[in-house]
Structure 1
């Protein structure tokens, strides 16, 4: 019996098992399959099954999208995937976001979900005080970018995280910082609305609200921070001795209601680095030592979403914390002498849970080593109610060019794509590199040059101070030491 002779519901079940590029190929060659795959139902079912990075906002319910909208999104994603997997990826558009030249360059960049908004942070240090300034840029139209908001906060910035809420109409910035006036460590959440003004208006909004502030105890140091929707989390390190990493606890809060929970680790492993992630239903911390990678996970307390309101949180002793959540070891992997880069969580949200937690691990040692080796690791189903110790998928190794070392490595949400700066030890010249990985092809990651050391552009990569990457749109933002910002679009 031919497949086309089967009932339509059986054909649909077979199609749901296929890769998205195979579905498009069949649509183009068979009239009946084209008709079967032309419904809203079909594309809404395909959407959550695909591991292809998509530009659909993680806060947007796909059931509200038509089949045509989802199909067009897949078409754009396949076009980018084809371009990115080439040895030489074509850069379609180069956008000059900031032209200014000064001695105060931007320190960090972050894309917001969808890749059409970029947050730039700049630490300002003087003898009297420390401040941090944030600028939010719109790059919906790469040919006509503009600044939509800017602000400045008191204190030295430790870390920051960004997200979108309220149907992507509000930018949220969560920070951990050391206030230069009162000397306290603060966890703060700020937000500003995205204006409806047309691009021609180019009016910058300087108003940020601060609905949430939490001060740590005097001997504590607030370090890592993560925000996803209305939930914010921070790691609290006991003592200021940077040579000894001792996590006292993790604070998790709903920044709208003020409801807080503490995650207090029991028998926390000794580590050389720690990071945190917020998924729709779990808090995750990633711990790396000289010889091991450990991932610990705690289920988020329901009261974080539906709990009572605490109108404003100030000092830590007035936080009215909720019950503690239990942190359990979820995955372990022996990883000797590696620098670890963790996939970002930009495109993760209520309607787009993470399908995996991915890593790039570069061999470490002395910078003058002749060859740096990298591997890609992935833990599947990281937000599911799965058993502990899942299988850690490990790729074949890939290599950095001899006499070079990697800087500013950014790994996308799904772990399929990454970018980094590859700097030559002897000359200081740099190239912008890109990685592509497709598990279905059963080969290791492929690495290529995205931007040569001397491109036909107004700048050279050796001037890059920091960068940001949005995997779904193929956009790379580069902040130079001259304070200029450029955005490359590969879609």
Structure 2
């Protein structure tokens, strides 16, 4: 009887169902299988789906057909079930890198979606330090490949990887210290070439696909603001927005002062720079910068609070003034310069557009903010904090979602969840996703001197944050967490990458 209802009635019924209900109905008969595979149905289902789904970069879910959305929803449900289980199963382990020289990877970062991985690896040559940077394609894990590699002089500071709408290009911006603070800018081609080498030697298990030469490479030196030459800038974090780089620096007072946090805009094409007035960063003892839409967000700790402040994004380099210095040839080092005296003035961000304060004050002494999530396309961020002096030891997950428009910035959701951590341990290498659904960190036990990898799962239905062990101290894997030196985590795919002290890098999938 129900089968013979008009199609528009069934489409209206599907509006009140969740993904699991539609998947179950599709198994009952051919008619409901066809009706439940309608694009209109799945576009509405995904709009209300509570879990993050692994859509391709720069693609809206409504642009995908029903079959693809169903596949992605099933994958998200399976990952969520595995992640929340008392024992999370590793579905696949892949040895990504085996560096026999023993040079371990210092830092790793996934691009959104977990399909690309950037690594930075320090090397020592002729009593000088170099950083080897690599970009890995993980779209096909069984044939993971390194599509780009470069070695620069200096010690790694920070990095951001920007993937544009062009599928075959990405821009890598890295800060390094080679007796001076330098910004490396590389526009990388992601296209493959048939060559297959590993550090110049053929290696079937760890292939290197040599791409064409980078489209553009530049190296820019960071110099102090002309009005504060005694403050030596040390690169802390690099963000990118459009054609502008936003560099957070720690300004070290060479005259013996306390130093301070500062923010600088950089035009990567011309080498021009504009410093934000220090008064905007002065209240923060920890500071991260993110950009969404037309707004610049300053995020960090002010007194006892976790604070998010939004400003209108200024135009530090309007037009192309004739006084702007010309770009230097590729692979040359040029100081970041400003032109005439009137351009030496600090940039003013204007009034605060909006301010949001975490719901729980950080009144407990000796707290630490180890990680604020990386920027993603949606205006969402999460932070994870650990309290070292509370009894029992505890931590806090903060989640923010914003509505950003030309009219202003409003808060669509904010939550704070406390959770317990081991009383005889200390957390390290924490990573949290922008949506705050999942987080990982390395936990070191003081008594046993053993490490284990911990996980956090946030339930959007109940609002509970559940903590469990992801990888035990003695796993049935080709490594132990005691060997771990750095890690990278992607919240949407649940993909985890671990770099070991012996030079090995392992990729773990949980779905």
Whether TM-score is above 0.5 comes out as yes
The equivalent residue for 2:265 is 251
Q: Is the 8 A contact 2:474 2:480 kept in 1?
A: yes
Q: Is the 8 A contact 2:192 2:210 kept in 1?
A: no
The question of 1:330 aligning with 2:355 is answered yes
Distance in 2 separating the partners of 1:30 and 1:302 = 59
Distance in 2 separating the partners of 1:51 and 1:214 = 45
The equivalent residue for 2:210 is 204
The question of 1:130 aligning with 2:151 is answered no
Q: Is the 8 A contact 2:276 2:348 kept in 1?
A: yes
Distance in 2 separating the partners of 1:418 and 1:120 = 20
The equivalent residue for 1:312 is 327
The equivalent residue for 2:201 is none
Shift of 1:316: 3.2
The question of 1:394 aligning with 2:394 is answered no
Bigger Rg over Cα? 2
Distance in 2 separating the partners of 1:243 and 1:29 = 73
TM-score normalised by structure 1 residue count: 0.83
Distance in 2 separating the partners of 1:214 and 1:39 = 55
Q: Is the 8 A contact 2:18 2:45 kept in 1?
A: no
Shift of 1:268: 4.1
The equivalent residue for 2:77 is 78
Q: Deviations over 1:232-284 (max 9, x none)?
A: 3111443347984523433265x468787654354545333212223344322
Q: Single out whichever of 155-164 and 15-24 deviates more from structure 2.
A: 15-24
Residues 50, 302 of structure 1: CA spacing in aligned structure 2 closer, same or farther, 3 A cutoff? farther
Unaligned runs of 5+ in 1: none
Distance in 1 separating the partners of 2:276 and 2:351 = 7
Alignment of 1:138-153 (within 5 A): 138-153=137-152
Shift of 1:177: 2.6
The equivalent residue for 2:398 is 377
Q: Deviations over 1:354-399 (max 9, x none)?
A: 3x3212221123xxx774201212122264555567774112x221
Distance in 2 separating the partners of 1:18 and 1:340 = 40
Alignment length, in residue pairs?
473
Higher RCO (CA < 8 A, seq sep 6+): 1
The question of 1:98 aligning with 2:97 is answered yes
Distance in 1 separating the partners of 2:310 and 2:442 = 32
Alignment of 1:230-269 (within 5 A): 230-240=243-253, 244=258, 246-251=260-265, 253=267, 255=268, 263-264=276-277, 266=279, 268-269=281-282
The equivalent residue for 2:373 is 344
The equivalent residue for 1:408 is 429
Shift of 1:420: 0.9
Q: CA RMSD in A?
A: 3.7
Shift of 1:111: 1.1
Shift of 1:308: 5.0
TM-score normalised by structure 2 residue count: 0.80
| Secondary structure of the structure 1 residue equivalent to 2:173 | strand
Unaligned runs of 5+ in 2: 197-203, 329-333
Q: Deviations over 1:152-208 (max 9, x none)?
A: 12233221122322433223221223333xx3x233322211123479974234844
Residues 11, 400 of structure 1: CA spacing in aligned structure 2 closer, same or farther, 3 A cutoff? same
